Structure 1
Amino acid sequence: MKFTEDHEWLRPEGDNIIVVGITEHAAKELGDIVFVQLPEAEAMVAQGDEVVVIESVKAASDILAPVDGEIVEVNAALADNPGLVNEDPLGGGWFFKIRVDDLAVLDSFMDEDEYQEMIA
């Protein structure tokens, strides 16, 4: 698993697919999440594009695409239960899966130790 400076986690899943969510730290900072707007499957996105909107009891936040690629699946369970992001941010609370040209793109992101050092 890799991490971004924007508190997203990236988990490779084979076939050049990366699962994207937010970290436990980010979920705690946001507070209770009440709404998640996900991207459309099959959408092509570029790194830095706004792809997810999260609304919590504290604020609204945007999740940016960490890499260029094609959204191949979204977590439909979040429509009925956005609180999954708070309950299980590193598991069931994932946002989308994106297909990239090469998983080597992950090499530019932080590992868990580097991420923990950043948030300390």
Structure 2
Amino acid sequence: MAEVNSAYGAWLAYVMDAKRIDTEKLAEKAGIQPTLIDRLIRGELSPENAREEVFKLGEILLSSKPREQMEKVLQALEIHVDLRNWAKSCDGGCCQWNIATEVSYDSALEVS
């Protein structure tokens, strides 16, 4: 089968590796065939066809204790604030990554 342009496979492989998840056990929990997970990782499903299955898998893979979730949220917020402050300190033009913070300040995104 031809490979399609989807980030789902790379994300799924990364999370499964990071959490040391077995394909068979994950498939059993999600109620899908293990071969479907393999096909997702290899990029054999288009994003449109993979979305529902990846959502099911994500719910299983990303579930954690509320305290762990809150710690991750707070860490992400700290990083976001650090990036915004960093962008302001260099006048917003010295870094290529700055486009992400520029989008957050874009007046076209403001709702009237």
Aligning the two structures, in what range does the TM-score lie when normalised by the shorter sequence? Answer: under 0.3
Q: Which has the higher helix share?
A: 2
Q: Which has the higher strand share?
A: 1
What's the TM-score once normalised by structure 1's chain length? Answer: 0.26
Larger radius of gyration: 2
What's the TM-score once normalised by structure 2's chain length? Answer: 0.27
| Structure with bigger RCO (C-alpha 8 Å, 6+ apart) | 1
